[in-house]
Amino acid sequence: MKLLLLLLILCPAVTAWIPRKDPTREKGCTYLQSSSLETNHLLGTDSYTPVFHFSRPEALEMMGRLDDAIMGGISTSSLAFSSDGFTRWGGVCRTDGGGFCGFRSNPFRQPLQVADADGFYLIGRLASDLEPERRVWKFSTRTKPDRGEVVYQAPFSFPKNQSAWHRVNIPFDDFCLVRGPRIVPNGPLLNTTGGIYQVGMTMSKFVFGTNTTELTDFRDGFFEVQLKEIGLYKRQQQLSKNELIIKSPQVLSESEFKKQQPLILKLMVPLFRLLFSESSRRRKSAMRHLRERRGLSRGRAIWLGYAIEPKALALSDP
Ligand SMILES: *[C@@H]1O[C@H](CO)[C@@H](O)[C@H](O)[C@H]1NC(C)=O
Ligand SMILES: *[C@@H]1O[C@H](CO)[C@@H](O)[C@H](O)[C@H]1NC(C)=O
Ligand SMILES: *[C@@H]1O[C@H](CO)[C@@H](O)[C@H](O)[C@H]1NC(C)=O
């Protein structure tokens, strides 16, 4: 009860501190839909250099979870190595309070020099179902060594085939500067000259655009992607024999990264953790259901929400 009061008192103060998006600006980034679904058979002689080998368990040590829990959601996903030689990225995506699941590498110790490449590629498949188009898939990268606001994203999709491995190209030209789920209108283009510091992937209910638009047909619940590789590719226009050479990145450990964070973040993060713990959000989510579906008063819902475990509530929902 005390925690709840603390939460109610501090919530506006803390959330006000989170950088807000400017709601007035409009206009799109120069993103062309057509290039987002190139697959291997269309691309004969391009040069591919793997960087993250998801066919080996070591790749997972470089990755971290990035679900909507960081901003108020209750989705969960995880990466797990399969002894069949690939990595499963899967979980349960819930739209309540969020609506995305993801993972990302820890920041690289040195920038990964990718200026010779034309884009990222991945080898993977959507293994859980045949509806990749009912989710929004986004690939993310950063050109700065922090976890600040400067994130570039590009959409991609998986072919509708659960059994074959697909190579999906994500050209640098498709990337837009984003803030949260939205494209920053007229933002700068992705400039890879100084190298990149991070890669990541997200499965989201938010359409890739300047407005926070939700996919009308979004398929929430369980999903599983299987991955073998993430790397970089170079288009070969002529019959040149220039191999694309990309060094393996070294990532910062979690503790090294924390040391680099600005003081304000160091102070805020534990408070965030306390106030926005996932279990408390699950409880709140259950409470919302109680209030909406059963027309309970707030006081009564709070009482019930604390008297009954959220799981039990979910099961007893009509
Ligand atoms: C999926 O790909 C495999 C291998 O290319 C092929 O044999 C199979 O017919 C495809 N399945 C569908 C549903 O297209
Ligand atoms: C990209 O960044 C480099 C410096 O890292 C700069 O010299 C170059 O002009 C930038 N290119 C564009 C197109 O902005
Ligand atoms: C974005 O939202 C604004 C109003 O909120 C609307 O006028 C505009 O048409 C929308 N743009 C797109 C591309 O949907």
Per-residue confidence at 239, pLDDT binned at 50, 70, 90?
low
**Those residues with Cβ within 8 angstroms of residue 258's Cβ, 6 or more apart along the chain or in another chain:** 266
The answer to whether the CB of 41 is under 6 A from ligand 1 is no
Domain assignment present for 221:
yes
Based on the domain organization, do 243 and 292 belong to the same domain? Answer: no
The answer to whether the CB of 188 is under 6 A from ligand 2 is no
Task: Please identify, by atom number, the ligand 1 atom nearest to the C-alpha of residue 130.
Answer: 13
Q: Ligand 2 atom 2: the closest Cα is on which residue?
A: 193
Per-residue confidence at 88, pLDDT binned at 50, 70, 90?
very high
Domain assignment present for 271:
no
- Which of residues 203, 219, 252 is at a domain's end? 252
Q: Which residue has the higher pLDDT, 67 or 166?
A: 166
Domain extent at residue 247 = 10-252
Backbone dihedral region of 226: left (phi > 0), alpha (psi from -120 to 50 degrees) or beta? beta
- 23-40 burial, b at 16+ Cβ within 10 Å, e below that, comes to eeeeeebebeeeebbbeb
Based on the domain organization, do 96 and 191 belong to the same domain? Answer: yes
Domain assignment present for 246:
yes
Based on the domain organization, do 295 and 225 belong to the same domain? Answer: no
Cα 233 to Cα 248: distance, rounded to the nearest angstrom: 14
Contact call for residues 76 and 67 (beta carbons, < 8 A): yes
Based on the domain organization, do 20 and 78 belong to the same domain? Answer: yes
Ligand 2 centroid to residue 186 C-alpha, Å: 17
**Mean pLDDT over each residue of the chain, to the nearest integer:** 77
Ligand 3 centroid to residue 28 C-alpha, Å: 11
For the segment 279-294, the average pLDDT, to the nearest whole number, is: 67
The answer to whether the CB of 15 is under 6 A from ligand 2 is no
Domain assignment present for 248:
yes
Ligand 1 centroid to residue 38 C-alpha, Å: 17
Based on the domain organization, do 172 and 302 belong to the same domain? Answer: no
Domain assignment present for 281:
yes
Ligand 2 centroid to residue 188 C-alpha, Å: 11
The answer to whether the CB of 164 is under 6 A from ligand 1 is yes
CA pseudo-torsion sign 47, 119, 138, 156: negative
The answer to whether the CB of 163 is under 6 A from ligand 1 is yes
**Those residues with Cβ within 8 angstroms of residue 50's Cβ, 6 or more apart along the chain or in another chain:** 229, 230, 231
The answer to whether the CB of 83 is under 6 A from ligand 1 is no
Task: Please identify, by atom number, the ligand 2 atom nearest to the C-alpha of residue 188.
Answer: 14
Query: Percentage of residues in the chain with pLDDT exceeding 70?
Result: 66
The CATH number that applies at residue 57 is 2.60.120.260
Based on the domain organization, do 46 and 99 belong to the same domain? Answer: yes
Q: Residue 241 has what pLDDT?
A: 63
Residues 94-150: pLDDT tens digits? Answer: 998 889 999 999 999 999 999 889 999 999 999 999 999 999 999 999 999 877 778
Ligand 3 centroid to residue 211 C-alpha, Å: 6
For the segment 250-257, the average pLDDT, to the nearest whole number, is: 79
Domain assignment present for 263:
no
Based on the domain organization, do 246 and 107 belong to the same domain? Answer: yes
Cα 186 to Cα 138: distance, rounded to the nearest angstrom: 19
CA distances from 235 to 36, 152, 219 (A): 15, 21, 34
Based on the domain organization, do 232 and 309 belong to the same domain? Answer: no
Full-model pTM: 0.74
User: Contacts by 40-46 with C-beta closer than 8 Å and gap 24+?
Assistant: 40/166, 40/167, 43/167, 43/169, 43/233, 43/235, 45/236, 45/239, 46/169, 46/233, 46/234, 46/235, 46/236
Residue 201 scores a pLDDT above 70: yes
The number of beta carbons lying within 10 Å of the beta carbon of residue 119 is 23
Per-residue confidence at 278, pLDDT binned at 50, 70, 90?
low
Based on the domain organization, do 236 and 300 belong to the same domain? Answer: no
From 37, 52, 47, select the one nearest 234 (Cα to Cα). 47
Ligand (nearest to CA of 211): 3
Q: Ligand 1 atom 12: the closest Cα is on which residue?
A: 161
Residue 52 scores a pLDDT above 80: yes
- Listing DSSP states for 39-57 in one string gives EGGG-TT-EEEEEEETTSG
Domain assignment present for 191:
yes
Cα 16 to Cα 226: distance, rounded to the nearest angstrom: 38
Cα 73 to Cα 63: distance, rounded to the nearest angstrom: 20
Distance from the Cα of residue 192 to its chain's centroid? 20
Based on the domain organization, do 167 and 89 belong to the same domain? Answer: yes
Per-residue confidence at 262, pLDDT binned at 50, 70, 90?
low
Residue 191 scores a pLDDT above 60: yes
Q: Torsions phi, psi of 153, nearest 5?
A: -135, 150
Per-residue confidence at 220, pLDDT binned at 50, 70, 90?
very high
How many domains are there within the chain?
Answer: 2
Per-residue confidence at 305, pLDDT binned at 50, 70, 90?
very low
Based on the domain organization, do 164 and 302 belong to the same domain? Answer: no
Cα 69 to Cα 64: distance, rounded to the nearest angstrom: 13
The answer to whether the CB of 194 is under 6 A from ligand 2 is yes
Q: Are strands 198-204 and 166-171 parallel, antiparallel or unpaired?
A: unpaired
Per-residue confidence at 259, pLDDT binned at 50, 70, 90?
confident
- Which of residues 236, 252, 268 is at a domain's end? 252
- Which of residues 235, 252, 269 is at a domain's end? 252
Q: Torsions phi, psi of 288, nearest 5?
A: -60, -40
Residue 236 scores a pLDDT above 70: yes
Q: Residue 302 has what pLDDT?
A: 52
For the segment 10-15, the average pLDDT, to the nearest whole number, is: 38
